[in-house]
A and B are shown apart, each in its own frame.
Chain A
């Protein structure tokens, strides 16, 4: 008797642990490859040695100042976007949702543009951080606006989605207005920022993203059952003793933090937040205990692969990573959708 019910559960359980381990291994391999790839050739050993001790000074600089921040940033931002996308899909109960659904990207873009056009900071910070801080501030402001709408009208997914779309349009038009009056160089800077690029990565930035990702994923993991319950519909969730509206607000705050911090350092990288959760869900099911790490790892995989491709496509140049993530992500995603025997949602 005991063996029987354990068997049922454990087959499912270990299959999921297995998939997560596979994701983690792929992630690790991609990270190592990412560290090895670049115009200055470096084998695995020399990468490892130069990570520890400065042997060849140029290689040391290359690895510590360029490759490592990029690699870490790709993993962390990918993970943050994957997680934010997962939770956005969960709380909105909508498979089409992504971290940018509620207009966070538009808000962030507007914030960055304000920094570029007026040179204004909303907070007194060093110049290097002017744009990220502004982007973060406006991204977060967008979320607060949506909260405000939710507060008035109730935190249903319809309210949030419609409110988000409206706010996204508002920020888009304000961004367009700023671009209209921007000088040539400023316009270029805004356009480049919006493209999404890992070239702005530094170790301190990676540390900030890491801190946010660690804290939010811990907080979400501790609520994993309650979040899973949201997928059963509002009334069922309520009958399970969950304060659905408060849960949505909480999760929305985590999403805002994750997305804002990701978007403010690397610009807008679309698609990962939509696809990574689906990849994870198809292989791991709805259980948030597995889905949370799974989505983080899937996001990290997609962005790392994109980061490698962005260096390899034209060696010596950096192809915008946002374009690549879509180009490699879409076929893979479609394969899962078309070939997969299970449902996606």
Chain B
């Protein structure tokens, strides 16, 4: 298992700084939630860790290994990345969709190992009973579980999920996040999530990283980091935070009145 260490990572797109000297460490067996307003660079951050995007400067370490020196194929065996927008081709069975997550390992002839892990993961996630169903017949929640399963069959050490629960109903949200937490602890994975819901982040994340304008605004345990002032300056909202020991609850009230301009 690995610890992901992000050191001074910067990334520009069209001369605009999307990531500006990001530093943080994500520990194994922990869920790190990246939060922040739209356009803060959250997705880009995950992509740099998945080696889909190369940072302009800075380095990401998997333990002591430099990501920039690793081959993409090797990275793909350690890291599973679930993008925000997912395509599931219509005419695949759930079994196949999940198995496709093992593409870095698949040979022309599918090995016993691949089948075994696929079935195992599906069982763990409780979707083995609809293995033969077609993927486009799934509900939103089922679909998301299938995608998580697809990310897990690679047996990754680093799991990167970009908004895994948006567009789901509240029960599905909780179920999927419970599942992710359980697996993260069991397998000692390093899990990094992008979340929009601050309460969910506060509930499930061991650590929160607040991005704002491409910079790390704050990082730490949710109850340490989330405060009325932070929310006001990062999101531009007035909010009430209720604290109960280490548990906190964010109640958004209204946007902060600023000089007529929206802050993006």
A and B associate in one complex: yes
- A: residues with CB less than 8 A from B are 2, 4-6, 8-9, 11-12, 93, 221-222, 224-226, 228-229, 231-233, 235-236, 238-243, 281-282, 285-287, 289, 342-345
Q: Residues of A contacting B10 with CB < 8 Å?
A: none
Residue in A5, A11, A225 whose beta carbon sits within 8 Å of that of B103 in the complex: A225
Residue in A224, A239, A344 whose beta carbon sits within 8 Å of that of B91 in the complex: A344
Q: Are B91 and A342 in contact (CB under 8 A)?
A: yes
Over the window 76-120 of chain B, the binary record of Cβ atoms lying under 8 Å from chain A Cβ atoms (1 yes, 0 no) is 110111110111111111011000110110101010000110110
Q: Are B89 and A345 in contact (CB under 8 A)?
A: yes
Q: Are A235 and B75 in contact (CB under 8 A)?
A: no
Q: Residues of B contacting A9 with CB < 8 Å?
A: 95, 110, 115
Known contacts A9-B115, A240-B103; is A221 also within 8 Å of B108 by CB? yes
Alpha-carbon distance A242/B73, docked complex (angstroms): 7
Q: Are A226 and B96 in contact (CB under 8 A)?
A: no
For the complex of A and B, the 3 pairs showing the least CB-CB separation, nearest first, are A241-B76, A343-B90, A239-B81
- B: residues with CB less than 8 A from A are 47, 50, 52, 72-77, 79-83, 85-93, 95-96, 100-101, 103-104, 106, 108, 110, 115-116, 118-119, 131-132, 134, 136
Q: Are A243 and B96 in contact (CB under 8 A)?
A: no
Q: Are A285 and B96 in contact (CB under 8 A)?
A: yes
Q: Are A12 and B93 in contact (CB under 8 A)?
A: yes
Q: Residues of A contacting B82 with CB < 8 Å?
A: 236
Nearest CB of B to A152, in Å: 16
Q: Are A241 and B83 in contact (CB under 8 A)?
A: no
Q: Are B95 and A12 in contact (CB under 8 A)?
A: yes
Nearest CB of A to B53, in Å: 9
Residue among B47, B50, B87 with the highest chain A CB neighbour number at 10 A: B87
Q: Residues of B contacting A240 with CB < 8 Å?
A: 76, 101, 103-104
Q: Are B119 and A233 in contact (CB under 8 A)?
A: no
Q: Are B86 and A241 in contact (CB under 8 A)?
A: no
Alpha-carbon distance A243/B85, docked complex (angstroms): 19
Q: Are A239 and B108 in contact (CB under 8 A)?
A: no
Residue among A225, A229, A236, A286 with the highest chain B CB neighbour number at 10 A: A236
Q: Are A241 and B89 in contact (CB under 8 A)?
A: no
Least CB separation from B76: chain A residue: A241
Q: Are A239 and B90 in contact (CB under 8 A)?
A: no
Residue in B87, B93, B132 whose beta carbon sits within 8 Å of that of A231 in the complex: B87
Alpha-carbon distance A242/B51, docked complex (angstroms): 11
Known contacts A229-B103, A241-B76; is A236 also within 8 Å of B87 by CB? yes
